[in-house]
Amino acid sequence: MKFPALKTYAIVYLIFLYAPIVLLPLFAFNNSKVIAFPLSGFTTEWFQMMWNDTQLFKAVKNSLIIAVSSSVLSTCLGVFAARASTRFNFPGKGSILGLIMLPMVLPEMIVAMSLLVVLLTIGMPLSILTIIMGHLLICTPFAVAILSSAFQSLDRSLEEAAYDLGETPASTFRLIVLPLVMPGIISSLLICFTISLDEFIIAYFLGGNQTVLSVYIYGQFRFPARVPAIMALGTVLVCLSICLLSIAEFYRRRGIARTGAKDTGGFL
């Protein structure tokens, strides 16, 4: 049975969702400071303006420090949590995992305000470190979700065989388990990196006087003359995000193929 109305809805929804992304490069290469149709011509001036902006590079540097730190720390925590949840039973397991995954469903505004109140109460100055702490809270649930799937697909008989051959639990994890879940680890690193790089609310609340990329972009929209350069920056960020997600999906599928598990869906 065909559902033409549902098909039309799906097409309209996809157009509404992806049209802004398509418009970014159009206006980024448009030879006009006014973001409107019709297009006036082709130019790369806005990319040159973006490249010469020293404040932008400072914001990018801070964002990269935050994103790399958040992705590495959240993935390390995700490995421990995923390993524990898939191999061991312990009291309060469901409740603990629920608390870990809670930031995925809580509004970021609430999380940011709560963290801000706690940090100000204990007298901790707002800095890049506080942004990393906030992003760690947001990224860890995603790392746990990705890595739990990777650990669940492992064949326990491989570990048992290693134990029978005299390996210790630590050496079995290093030599057997870790290489098998490495695609999941790489996927977690890339996804958490992308989430941290794009995140705005926590960076805005907890950044103090430190400029990060998302907050910088928000501030630049107050100046109409700077908007075309921000469109150019947005084009670069979209391309970067697509590349990172594609690589993450590649490693996710590679990990599934290596373990022989069933693919239940991915990022792309």
Q: Quick one: which H or E segment has residue 201? A: helix 201-206
Residue 251: how many CB atoms within 10 A of its CB? 20
Q: How far is CA 54 from CA 38, 63, 221, in A?
A: 32, 14, 17
DSSP type of residue 173: I
Amino acid at 50: M
Residue 105's Cβ-side half-sphere holds a number of Cα atoms within 13 Å equal to: 5
The tens digit of pLDDT for each residue in 107-118 reads 888 889 999 999
Fold of 43-259: MetI-like fold (1.10.3720)
Contact 68, 178 (CB under 8 A): no
Structural domain boundaries in the chain: 43-259
The mean of the pLDDT values for the chain is 82
pLDDT of 259 above 60: no
pTM score, two decimals?
A: 0.79
Strand-pairing partners, residue 42, are 30
Backbone angles phi, psi at 67, to 5 degrees: -65, -45
Query: To 5 degrees, how large is the angle CA 158–CA 162–CA 165?
Result: 140
The tens digit of pLDDT for each residue in 174-229 reads 777 888 888 888 888 988 998 998 888 999 999 888 888 888 888 887 877 777 88
Q: Which pLDDT band holds residue 238 (cuts at 50, 70, 90)?
A: confident
pLDDT for the residue 141: 93
Contact 70, 129 (CB under 8 A): no
